[in-house]
Structure 1
């Protein structure tokens, strides 16, 4: 009952939350819907093609999550400097984020393009799905650098509470992707029927479009994004050390987390194409179902970070409690709705085998049962601890249990038992339970609320 007091109406607070969250939510809704459409189009090519794309996307997910970590690391400083109105420091944070992101994307893009067979062999045995995965990954590898630049400028806009502009860029990019998928996967309207290659090419072109639009909005609408070369890259050693001390644990967290989920995929791949395709279906529907949670998590980091940067520690802690309570409440409601309409959601994947859909259905229901806990962990680790600069604690909580509990359990279950894929997935949720226990202790302690800006400390 004590938590219910944080749901009491506060007009100013909720107006601010809605102002920031709605554009992020709208972008997520459109993105997940179009991603779903893309998956349905690829599923028309059969289980092998769908499994190949799903596993190739495990590598791209690793890269995208790492780039998200870079953008999040920059956002910690961008949001707090926005709260203290230190625009010159924001520009340096953006510049350092570009250096990190582009360097990482360039390296991983080279690996994806020139070592494609080696990478895919980690996820799939040689066969038709392997061949499709190689085609897909090699084609989209150049898109990583576009994503790095796009993420950096989108973070600058979001940190200044101008979330509608990344929303517009994201929606346009995703619409371009979907239209090109429709034309190039099945060869509609006289276009070549390129299958998996067409899907990858559509993603590459859409990434270029999204990058260009985000850069345009950053230079025309953002105070920090409107920076010349000198303003972006004039940081000294002290600034680099300060940035790296806080941001590098975030980047490491996302890297280890994404590599951990890639290890999951390696074990799932041992159970065949149907199991891999089932996890692909589940991932798509899971993302679609919980888009509002992800939007609130993004808004939380902006709102809490801004208050800490302005020196309002007590208000930041109050807002964190309100947003955490609201997120968990929303997650329960959403899970119930998703459970009621589960058959309708799965009907759109009718081209896949019954075995694949049966696997995916059980996994989806298990996931819904843990949705409140997963939502709490997300808003705490990504939204609150990082906003407060408590990045070392978030690193330990987020990945220690993944690597030392969940992955060993999954490995043992996969290699030494004949457990079904649904039970193997349940084993991976063991880390969520431990993250909840230790994350709650950190949250209640208040040690996460740190101020990084000089003006707030003066």
Structure 2
């Protein structure tokens, strides 16, 4: 092949790469932001009710985040397996891995629902000794817990659709759910349209209703997608060709690459639950490290929340006010992590290790550029942001300081999200990320947080920045492992 031929091939691969990134990352990012908007809208609207309401929702959200992180871990395990099996075009294993993970997520959701509805006050007493804040948080958590099961189903169904490169479908459901959440928040929190003003109770009810609506819509999208895609496969397993009509009425056949798992000979979807011993061991080898990793990371985040809560109600409220910004900024980059896991995983499934490594580097660079731009914007608008809330001036001042610290550390956080949450896991070697997170959180983050808060009695902004330096430790270890290439494996 001549130079021109090689050049055209390179340009085509480059265009395909960015087209695929756009197709996966943009809908995933928008869906994540919409999902996160449930708590963000709650916090902004209840921010008009005072510091106690803000702190209460923030602390309840911290415990709820343990469930969210764990169910996301299950979805991550499903995504690893689905991406590789779809890359291998092994639809039977893909169906099986999806259903097993879906069952695990449902069991986890039921457990957390029972705990939060039966003993919400006991849970919240772990975070704060302030009686009023504790009561507020417990009331919110007890209602919010009803959303756990629909949230679990939505998360797993969305993971399947993303791996099938149909990320726009759960995005549509997410838009509708976000609209329901925002409208009901306004109506129920402030007592509009003839409803009584319910405060944070109304916020919790709005979130539950929106999550249920989002789950029903996502399930409908999922069933529609599977039924549509199955048309491209013949009963004997060979590919069909899509027939479409041109404007002049002539028929054109074009081969469609169907990356969605299919059920062999119309077998019932439920039959995919059966796993051989080797598959079970492989599955547990992927899932358990992710669950352990995410649980201890989330537990560490809750230790951080307890540290902020014991510094004082104003410090806790200020940290809660930064949560919408942190969620939106990290969420804006989340699509790159998801795209990394799917694209790199598919390349590994095809044993194309060179392409997997090349795509990983490009995605890290995209994430770095995007996160730096967002950090600069945050520094410029943080003064205007804090004016949204009706809280004490001292709380606004503390919030601005925390936002500055977050802007400095945010690019490193994003790189860790792309590396640990996407690339290093894509080959199924999830133990790597488990060790990295444990070292970062428990050997550095938690000790630094405790020392800076209770030994040196530093302001909360400095406490947050110092404990966040554990992100630098994670990044250094992750880059070392990435360059070693031991994570690159086909299942």
Tell me the TM-score normalised to structure 2 length.
0.87
Partners of 1:149 and 1:285 in 2: CA distance: 26
CA separation of 1:121/1:334 partners in 2, compared to 1, >3 Å: closer, same or farther? same
Partners of 2:51 and 2:93 in 1: CA distance: 50
Q: Which runs of structure 2 are paired with 1:52-451 in the superposition (5 Å)?
A: 52-222=56-226, 223-224=260-261, 228-349=268-389, 351-451=390-490
Partners of 1:95 and 1:153 in 2: CA distance: 10
CA separation of 1:195/1:60 partners in 2, compared to 1, >3 Å: closer, same or farther? same
Q: Which residue of 1 aligns with 2:23?
A: 19
TM-superposed CA distance for 1:33, in Å, is: 5.4
Partners of 1:104 and 1:214 in 2: CA distance: 20
TM-superposed CA distance for 1:229, in Å, is: 4.7
CA separation of 1:292/1:260 partners in 2, compared to 1, >3 Å: closer, same or farther? same
Contact 2:83 / 2:345 at 8 angstroms: preserved in 1?
yes
Contact 1:389 / 1:450 at 8 angstroms: preserved in 2?
yes
3-state DSSP class of the match of 1:241? Answer: helix
Tell me the TM-score normalised to structure 1 length.
0.93
Contact 1:290 / 1:334 at 8 angstroms: preserved in 2?
no
Partners of 1:437 and 1:217 in 2: CA distance: 41
Partners of 1:33 and 1:149 in 2: CA distance: 18
CA separation of 1:68/1:33 partners in 2, compared to 1, >3 Å: closer, same or farther? closer
TM-superposed CA distance for 1:120, in Å, is: 0.2
TM-superposed CA distance for 1:344, in Å, is: 2.5
3-state DSSP class of the match of 1:125? Answer: coil
CA separation of 1:359/1:225 partners in 2, compared to 1, >3 Å: closer, same or farther? farther
Contact 2:51 / 2:313 at 8 angstroms: preserved in 1?
yes
Q: Which residue of 1 aligns with 2:229?
A: none
Alignment length (residue pairs): 446
43, 48, 54: which one aligns with 2:47: 43
Q: Can you give the 5+ residue segments of structure 2 that lack an aligned partner in the other structure?
A: 1-9, 227-259
Partners of 1:290 and 1:95 in 2: CA distance: 29
The alignment yields a C-alpha RMSD, in angstroms, of: 2.0
Partners of 1:24 and 1:263 in 2: CA distance: 29
TM-superposed CA distance for 1:419, in Å, is: 1.0
3-state DSSP class of the match of 1:270? Answer: helix
TM-superposed CA distance for 1:73, in Å, is: 0.8
Contact 2:92 / 2:262 at 8 angstroms: preserved in 1?
no
CA separation of 1:225/1:421 partners in 2, compared to 1, >3 Å: closer, same or farther? farther
CA separation of 1:30/1:364 partners in 2, compared to 1, >3 Å: closer, same or farther? same
Structure with higher Rg: it is 2
Partners of 1:285 and 1:332 in 2: CA distance: 15
CA separation of 1:47/1:142 partners in 2, compared to 1, >3 Å: closer, same or farther? same
| 1:373-431 per-position Cα deviation (integer Å, ceiling 9, x unaligned) | 11111110001011121210111112222012110121122222321101110121121
| 1:272-309 per-position Cα deviation (integer Å, ceiling 9, x unaligned) | 21111111111211222343311211111111111111
Partners of 1:323 and 1:8 in 2: CA distance: 17
Partners of 1:346 and 1:186 in 2: CA distance: 21
